[in-house]
Amino acid sequence: QSALTQPASVSGSPGQSITISCTGTSSDVGAYNYVSWYQQHPGKAPKLMIYDVTNRPSGVSNRFSGSKSGNTASLTISGLQAEDEADYYCSSYTSSHSWVFGGGTKLTVL
Amino acid sequence: QVQLVQSGAEVKKPGASVKVSCNTSGYTFTSYYMHWVRQAPGQGLEWMGIINPSGGSTTYAQKFQGRVSMTRDTSTSTVYLELRSLRSEDTAVYYCVRDSSQHAFDMWGQGTVVTVSS
Protein backbone atom coordinates (compact mmCIF):
# COMPACT_ATOMS: atom_id res chain seq x y z
CA GLN A 1 0.00 0.00 0.00
CA SER A 2 1.64 3.25 -1.11
CA ALA A 3 1.55 6.32 1.09
CA LEU A 4 -0.94 9.04 0.30
CA THR A 5 0.55 12.09 -1.41
CA GLN A 6 0.76 15.37 0.47
CA PRO A 7 2.77 18.52 -0.30
CA ALA A 8 5.96 18.61 1.74
CA SER A 9 5.31 22.12 2.97
CA VAL A 10 2.80 24.95 2.93
CA SER A 11 2.92 28.38 4.50
CA GLY A 12 0.65 31.28 5.26
CA SER A 13 0.45 34.49 7.24
CA PRO A 14 -1.60 34.91 10.40
CA GLY A 15 -5.26 35.36 9.58
CA GLN A 16 -4.99 33.76 6.16
CA SER A 17 -6.39 30.41 5.05
CA ILE A 18 -4.39 27.48 3.76
CA THR A 19 -5.34 24.14 2.25
CA ILE A 20 -3.40 20.89 2.41
CA SER A 21 -4.20 18.22 -0.16
CA CYS A 22 -4.02 14.46 0.26
CA THR A 23 -4.16 12.35 -2.89
CA GLY A 24 -4.78 8.64 -2.88
CA THR A 25 -6.45 6.13 -5.14
CA SER A 26 -9.81 4.53 -5.77
CA SER A 27 -8.78 1.86 -3.24
CA ASP A 28 -8.41 4.22 -0.32
CA VAL A 29 -9.38 7.91 -0.33
CA GLY A 30 -11.78 7.46 -3.25
CA ALA A 31 -13.35 4.30 -1.87
CA TYR A 32 -14.50 5.35 1.59
CA ASN A 33 -15.40 8.44 3.60
CA TYR A 34 -12.83 7.35 6.19
CA VAL A 35 -10.24 10.09 5.74
CA SER A 36 -8.82 11.65 8.89
CA TRP A 37 -6.31 14.39 9.62
CA TYR A 38 -3.74 14.74 12.41
CA GLN A 39 -1.71 17.62 13.79
CA GLN A 40 1.70 16.91 15.29
CA HIS A 41 3.85 19.41 17.11
CA PRO A 42 7.57 18.63 17.52
CA GLY A 43 8.22 15.95 20.08
CA LYS A 44 4.53 15.33 20.67
CA ALA A 45 2.10 12.59 19.73
CA PRO A 46 -0.26 13.36 16.85
CA LYS A 47 -3.71 14.76 17.58
CA LEU A 48 -6.90 13.92 15.71
CA MET A 49 -8.30 17.02 13.99
CA ILE A 50 -10.78 15.68 11.41
CA TYR A 51 -12.42 12.25 10.96
CA ASP A 52 -14.78 10.81 8.36
CA VAL A 53 -13.62 13.50 5.89
CA THR A 54 -15.49 16.42 7.44
CA ASN A 55 -16.14 15.81 11.14
CA ARG A 56 -14.35 17.59 13.98
CA PRO A 57 -13.86 15.90 17.35
CA SER A 58 -15.07 17.77 20.39
CA GLY A 59 -12.63 20.51 21.34
CA VAL A 60 -11.12 21.04 17.89
CA SER A 61 -11.47 24.58 16.59
CA ASN A 62 -13.99 25.20 13.83
CA ARG A 63 -11.17 26.91 11.93
CA PHE A 64 -10.26 23.39 10.80
CA SER A 65 -12.39 21.82 8.08
CA GLY A 66 -12.13 18.87 5.74
CA SER A 67 -13.47 17.91 2.33
CA LYS A 68 -13.04 15.33 -0.39
CA SER A 69 -13.42 15.13 -4.14
CA GLY A 70 -12.72 11.86 -5.89
CA ASN A 71 -9.37 10.51 -4.79
CA THR A 72 -8.22 13.75 -3.15
CA ALA A 73 -9.04 14.95 0.34
CA SER A 74 -8.24 18.39 1.70
CA LEU A 75 -7.73 20.06 5.05
CA THR A 76 -8.39 23.78 5.26
CA ILE A 77 -7.27 25.94 8.15
CA SER A 78 -8.82 29.38 8.24
CA GLY A 79 -7.72 32.36 10.33
CA LEU A 80 -4.20 30.98 10.69
CA GLN A 81 -2.66 31.33 14.13
CA ALA A 82 0.90 30.88 15.29
CA GLU A 83 -0.01 27.73 17.23
CA ASP A 84 -1.20 26.07 14.01
CA GLU A 85 2.44 25.71 12.93
CA ALA A 86 2.97 21.94 12.97
CA ASP A 87 3.16 18.84 10.79
CA TYR A 88 -0.12 17.57 9.38
CA TYR A 89 -0.85 14.02 8.27
CA CYS A 90 -3.81 12.55 6.45
CA SER A 91 -4.90 8.95 6.76
CA SER A 92 -7.37 6.71 4.99
CA TYR A 93 -8.89 3.29 5.47
CA THR A 94 -8.24 1.04 2.48
CA SER A 95 -9.94 -1.73 0.55
CA SER A 96 -7.27 -4.10 1.94
CA HIS A 97 -8.71 -3.55 5.44
CA SER A 98 -5.64 -1.60 6.39
CA TRP A 99 -4.80 2.04 6.97
CA VAL A 100 -2.39 4.30 5.12
CA PHE A 101 -0.91 7.69 6.00
CA GLY A 102 0.23 10.58 3.89
CA GLY A 103 3.87 11.59 3.96
CA GLY A 104 3.09 14.68 6.04
CA THR A 105 3.01 18.43 5.39
CA LYS A 106 4.96 21.00 7.36
CA LEU A 107 2.88 24.13 7.93
CA THR A 108 4.82 27.32 8.53
CA VAL A 109 3.02 30.40 9.85
CA LEU A 110 5.00 33.36 8.52
CA GLN B 1 -10.14 10.30 31.52
CA VAL B 2 -8.84 8.04 28.77
CA GLN B 3 -5.17 7.19 29.20
CA LEU B 4 -2.77 5.06 27.17
CA VAL B 5 0.53 4.64 29.02
CA GLN B 6 3.36 2.91 27.20
CA SER B 7 6.47 1.21 28.48
CA GLY B 8 9.84 2.90 28.49
CA ALA B 9 12.55 3.33 25.91
CA GLU B 10 14.42 0.29 24.60
CA VAL B 11 17.83 -0.21 23.04
CA LYS B 12 18.26 -3.42 21.09
CA LYS B 13 20.89 -5.04 18.91
CA PRO B 14 20.15 -6.05 15.32
CA GLY B 15 18.43 -9.42 15.17
CA ALA B 16 16.89 -9.10 18.62
CA SER B 17 13.23 -8.71 19.52
CA VAL B 18 11.40 -5.97 21.39
CA LYS B 19 8.08 -6.02 23.23
CA VAL B 20 6.30 -2.76 23.95
CA SER B 21 3.32 -2.53 26.28
CA CYS B 22 0.41 -0.08 26.34
CA ASN B 23 -1.68 0.02 29.50
CA THR B 24 -5.11 1.61 29.08
CA SER B 25 -7.59 3.14 31.49
CA GLY B 26 -10.64 5.37 31.55
CA TYR B 27 -12.78 3.41 29.10
CA THR B 28 -14.03 -0.10 28.37
CA PHE B 29 -10.93 -1.86 27.04
CA THR B 30 -12.78 -4.45 24.97
CA SER B 31 -14.99 -1.91 23.20
CA TYR B 32 -12.34 -0.23 21.07
CA TYR B 33 -9.82 -1.67 18.62
CA MET B 34 -6.18 -0.67 19.10
CA HIS B 35 -3.61 0.19 16.44
CA TRP B 36 0.16 0.41 16.48
CA VAL B 37 1.78 3.21 14.48
CA ARG B 38 5.47 4.04 14.25
CA GLN B 39 7.48 7.08 13.26
CA ALA B 40 11.15 6.87 12.31
CA PRO B 41 13.33 9.88 13.15
CA GLY B 42 12.38 12.83 10.96
CA GLN B 43 9.92 10.69 9.00
CA GLY B 44 6.17 10.29 8.70
CA LEU B 45 3.68 8.01 10.35
CA GLU B 46 3.48 4.33 9.40
CA TRP B 47 0.59 2.01 10.25
CA MET B 48 1.69 -1.38 11.56
CA GLY B 49 -1.50 -3.19 12.44
CA ILE B 50 -4.62 -3.47 14.55
CA ILE B 51 -5.90 -5.73 17.31
CA ASN B 52 -9.40 -6.35 18.57
CA PRO B 53 -9.00 -6.41 22.36
CA SER B 54 -12.24 -8.32 22.71
CA GLY B 55 -11.38 -11.47 20.77
CA GLY B 56 -7.69 -10.90 20.11
CA SER B 57 -7.97 -10.99 16.31
CA THR B 58 -5.32 -9.05 14.44
CA THR B 59 -4.56 -7.55 11.04
CA TYR B 60 -0.99 -6.63 10.22
CA ALA B 61 0.42 -4.38 7.53
CA GLN B 62 1.91 -6.52 4.78
CA LYS B 63 5.33 -4.98 5.39
CA PHE B 64 5.49 -6.49 8.90
CA GLN B 65 3.84 -9.86 8.27
CA GLY B 66 5.84 -12.65 9.91
CA ARG B 67 7.86 -10.29 12.06
CA VAL B 68 5.20 -8.70 14.26
CA SER B 69 2.77 -9.90 16.90
CA MET B 70 0.07 -7.90 18.66
CA THR B 71 -1.51 -9.39 21.77
CA ARG B 72 -3.64 -8.26 24.68
CA ASP B 73 -4.31 -9.03 28.32
CA THR B 74 -7.90 -8.20 29.21
CA SER B 75 -7.22 -8.66 32.92
CA THR B 76 -4.90 -5.65 32.92
CA SER B 77 -6.36 -3.74 29.92
CA THR B 78 -2.98 -3.88 28.23
CA VAL B 79 -1.99 -4.41 24.63
CA TYR B 80 1.44 -5.50 23.47
CA LEU B 81 3.51 -5.09 20.34
CA GLU B 82 6.36 -7.51 19.65
CA LEU B 83 8.69 -6.92 16.72
CA ARG B 84 11.29 -9.55 15.89
CA SER B 85 14.48 -9.68 13.81
CA LEU B 86 15.12 -6.02 14.44
CA ARG B 87 17.22 -3.99 12.03
CA SER B 88 18.48 -0.43 12.14
CA GLU B 89 15.53 0.74 10.03
CA ASP B 90 13.21 -0.24 12.89
CA THR B 91 14.59 2.61 15.00
CA ALA B 92 11.50 4.70 15.64
CA VAL B 93 8.93 5.94 18.10
CA TYR B 94 6.17 3.35 18.46
CA TYR B 95 2.67 4.52 19.39
CA CYS B 96 -0.35 2.59 20.53
CA VAL B 97 -3.45 4.35 19.27
CA ARG B 98 -7.11 3.74 20.01
CA ASP B 99 -9.50 3.38 17.09
CA SER B 100 -12.36 5.83 17.37
CA SER B 101 -14.86 3.40 15.84
CA GLN B 102 -14.94 5.74 12.86
CA HIS B 103 -11.77 4.32 11.34
CA ALA B 104 -9.70 7.13 12.87
CA PHE B 105 -7.03 7.29 15.55
CA ASP B 106 -8.53 9.24 18.42
CA MET B 107 -6.31 8.63 21.46
CA TRP B 108 -2.54 8.22 21.31
CA GLY B 109 -0.07 6.82 23.80
CA GLN B 110 2.95 8.91 24.67
CA GLY B 111 5.19 6.83 22.41
CA THR B 112 8.04 4.41 23.09
CA VAL B 113 11.45 5.05 21.57
CA VAL B 114 13.05 1.89 20.22
CA THR B 115 16.65 2.20 19.11
CA VAL B 116 18.30 -0.61 17.15
CA SER B 117 22.06 -0.32 17.13
CA SER B 118 25.04 -2.60 17.31
Instruction: Convert the pLDDT of each residue in A57-101 to its tens digit.
Output: 999 999 999 999 999 999 999 999 999 999 999 999 999 999 999
How far is A91 from chain B, CA to nearest CA, in Å?
Answer: 8
With a CB cutoff of 8 Å and minimum separation 6, the contacts of A68 are A29, A33, A35, A53, A54, A74
Does the beta-carbon distance from B61 to A1 stay under 8 Å? yes
Does the beta-carbon distance from A48 to B105 stay under 8 Å? yes
Quick one: pLDDT at residue B102?
A: 78
Q: Taking residues B69-77, what's their average pLDDT? A: 98
Quick one: pLDDT at residue A88?
A: 98
**Residue A107: band (very low, low, confident or very high) from pLDDT cuts 50, 70, 90:** very high
Instruction: Convert the pLDDT of each residue in B96-116 to its tens digit.
Output: 999 988 789 999 999 999 999
The interface residues of chain A toward chain B in range 21-60, judged by CB-CB distance below 8 A, are 32, 34, 36, 38, 45-48, 51-52, 55, 57
Nearest to B101 by CA among B34, B50, B53, B32: B32
Distance CA B5, CA B68 (A): 20
The interface residues of chain A toward chain B in range 59-88, judged by CB-CB distance below 8 A, are none
Check whether A1 has a pLDDT greater than 80: no
**Residue A2: band (very low, low, confident or very high) from pLDDT cuts 50, 70, 90:** confident
Quick one: pLDDT at residue B101?
A: 82
Mean pLDDT value across chain B: 97
Does the beta-carbon distance from A98 to B105 stay under 8 Å? no
For residue A100, what is the nearest residue in chain B, using CA coordinates?
Answer: B47
How far is A14 from chain B, CA to nearest CA, in Å?
Answer: 26
**Residue B17: band (very low, low, confident or very high) from pLDDT cuts 50, 70, 90:** very high
Sign of CA dihedral A89, B106, A12, B42: negative
Q: Taking residues A21-26, what's their average pLDDT? A: 97
Quick one: pLDDT at residue A109?
A: 97
Instruction: Convert the pLDDT of each residue in B28-49 to its tens digit.
Output: 999 999 999 999 999 999 999 9
Instruction: Convert the pLDDT of each residue in A26-56 to its tens digit.
Output: 999 999 999 999 999 999 999 999 999 999 9
Contact, A68 vs A55, CB < 8 A? no
Q: Taking residues B5-26, what's their average pLDDT? A: 98
